[in-house]
Structure 1
Amino acid sequence: MSKITSKLSAAEKKILRQIYWRSFTLFSAVTPAKQGASGFEYSMLPVINHFYKNDDDKKAAMVRHMSYFNSNLAMSPFIMGVAASMEKQNAKSKDFNVESINAIKTSLMGPLSGIGDSLFWGVLRVIAAGIAVSLAQSGNWLAPIIFLLLFNVPVQLVRWYGGQLGYTLGSTYIEDLYKKDLINIMTKAASIVGLMMVGAMTSSMVKFSLKWNMVVNGKSILNAQSMLNQIFIGLLPLGITLLCFYLLKNKNISINWLILGTIVVAVGLALVGIV
């Protein structure tokens, strides 16, 4: 790791330290529509203020990083490091594909969430808790301290070095991609991965099941939800999600109105027994 970071300037090392400390605020202001976007944007401010000299460029970068972001906390600094390296390249190159920044962010969120959640929440936390519980049962007062150290020290090491690794590797490979004229292919591939992740999130997070059935002479002859599942499983959640995207993008409906409207419609349909 020291060989990688040795190539960084003093200013870049300072920026990465600022990103590390600011990244603790990632989920301090979570919203349903943006999740940790405000924390991500706050963490990226040192990068934006350092590399961009024009106020309009700074504003554009701030807006860019207010897009939806949700990933494992330990793995997030790596994504921030990659995004920081791309912002640096964007500030240097006039022909930089700005859309690639959010495309890469989105494509990394899902895989790194899976790795981070499995490794830190599923494995490390259980091991640390098992050791701490054994100590607690024997009356050792150091048990909670041991648990916190066993869990947090590896997490903080990954967070600290992950940001540096993401920044240095991002700078190296992005420059190579531009030299080889492969940046558009990378952006397209990242966008596809990102869309797959959003589709998976829609399937797992958006729930809508019909309770209405066709009844004749007191006997149910048609189960509406079962019939829809035979056509396309998750058809209604997908349709609702696409409708919300359409209203948000094409009709400029506020996110707050969409959330309120969804709640009102859901309560109304539940009251009449449709869902």
Structure 2
Amino acid sequence: MDEKIMKDPSKKLTKNDLMNVYLRHYQLLGCFNYERQMSTGYAWAMTPVIKKLYGDNDEKLKEGYQRHLEFFNCATSTAPFILGISCAMEEQYANAKEGEFEESSINSVKAALMGPLAGIGDSFFWGTFRIIGVGIGAPLAVKGSILGPLLYFLINVLPSELVRWFGFKAGYKGGSEFLTRISANGTLQKLTEAAKVLGLVVIGAMIASMVVVELPTDININNAKVNLQETIDSIMPKLLPLLITFGCYGLLQKRVSGTWIMFGLILLGIIGVALGILK
């Protein structure tokens, strides 16, 4: 893999470092969990880079691991492109002077890319090439023809491997050039802020559309029926879902496990409905 030449690099990733990252990406689904999905596999893949760039600084080494243990989920066929960019950004950060590079932009770029690339990877490889390959290859394989697995390999596996390899190369090579340019003119900082704003807008829309918390339709107050839910919505629509979301976020900030929060919400729902507090 071609290496990009940076100005006065104090730390530089080698072909061997990058190859180690690429080979480790096949374990992205290792230790998959429902809280942070592929984060453990991503951190494992980035380990050679983190050790190479920050091995002499325990604090930055720890920060590097924590950075890549954040939530990540993407199609495995397109994820190497993001890994390549992460390698380029980590290299840029390791060689930048204090205040010249915002490290939070590394995860901002990951978050911005994983959704669109997941859609592309799932649509092409899980939803199209895999089905076509199985549809053509399985009948031949059942009849004992070697063409069955061979055609499946040519239709599904080979395109996936090519996308993985060239995507990783393009991510690192293009990422180095692109990041050097946009870091110099301040565009990276603007993109990071834009990504944060977009993320908050998307989360706000998801709270309103996907979090459902409703109170009983009517309650009796001195023999008068009051629609409590409509009263609250007249003050602020979707106020209860927002409060529940803020409560969960506060618990996550206190390092309460997402799994325990999920069980707590289930228990709250059961008790609330049984007591007539929730609809």
- Aligned AA (2:262): I
Tell me how far apart the structure 1 counterparts of residues 141 and 240 of structure 2 sit (CA, whole Å): 50
1:123 paired with 2:128, answer yes
Tell me how far apart the structure 2 counterparts of residues 270 and 47 of structure 1 sit (CA, whole Å): 51
CA drift of 1:253 comes to 4.8
- Aligned AA (1:192): V
Q: Which residue of 1 aligns with 2:102?
A: 97
- Out of 240-249 and 144-153, give the one that drifted further: 144-153
Q: For the structure 1 residues 127 and 193, does the alpha-carbon distance in structure 2 shift closer, same or farther, using more than 3 Å as the test?
A: farther
1:6 paired with 2:17, answer no
1:46-85 matches, within 5 Å, as 46-52=48-54, 53-85=56-88
Could you tell me the TM-score, scaled by structure 2's length? 0.79
CA drift of 1:149 comes to 4.5
Tell me how far apart the structure 2 counterparts of residues 237 and 117 of structure 1 sit (CA, whole Å): 31
Tell me how far apart the structure 2 counterparts of residues 117 and 223 of structure 1 sit (CA, whole Å): 44
**Aligned with 1:255 (options 249, 254, 257):** 257
Tell me how far apart the structure 1 counterparts of residues 94 and 140 of structure 2 sit (CA, whole Å): 53
Residues 116-137 of structure 1: per-residue CA shift (max 9 Å, x gap) = 1222222222222222245357
Tell me how far apart the structure 2 counterparts of residues 23 and 201 of structure 1 sit (CA, whole Å): 30
Residues 42-92 of structure 1: per-residue CA shift (max 9 Å, x gap) = 111111111223122111111111111111111111111111111101110
Contact 2:75 2:118 in 1 (8 A): yes
- Aligned AA (2:2): S
Q: Which residue of 1 aligns with 2:20?
A: 18
Tell me how far apart the structure 2 counterparts of residues 146 and 202 of structure 1 sit (CA, whole Å): 45
Q: For the structure 1 residues 136 and 156, does the alpha-carbon distance in structure 2 shift closer, same or farther, using more than 3 Å as the test?
A: same
Secondary structure at the counterpart of residue 218 of structure 2: strand
Q: Which residue of 2 aligns with 1:240?
A: 244
CA drift of 1:184 comes to 1.1
1:213-232 matches, within 5 Å, as 213-214=217-218, 232=237
Aligned length: 262
Tell me how far apart the structure 2 counterparts of residues 58 and 152 of structure 1 sit (CA, whole Å): 36
Contact 2:216 2:228 in 1 (8 A): yes
CA drift of 1:210 comes to 4.3
CA drift of 1:24 comes to 1.8
Q: Which residue of 1 aligns with 2:117?
A: 112
Q: For the structure 1 residues 7 and 25, does the alpha-carbon distance in structure 2 shift closer, same or farther, using more than 3 Å as the test?
A: closer
Could you tell me the TM-score, scaled by structure 1's length? 0.80
Contact 1:104 1:191 in 2 (8 A): no
1:175 paired with 2:204, answer no
- Aligned AA (1:109): M
- Aligned AA (2:37): Q
Q: Which residue of 1 aligns with 2:223?
A: none
CA drift of 1:271 comes to 4.2
Tell me how far apart the structure 2 counterparts of residues 147 and 269 of structure 1 sit (CA, whole Å): 52
Which blocks of at least 5 consecutive residues in structure 2 are unaligned?
A: 6-11, 221-225
1:186 paired with 2:198, answer no
% identity of equivalent residues: 34
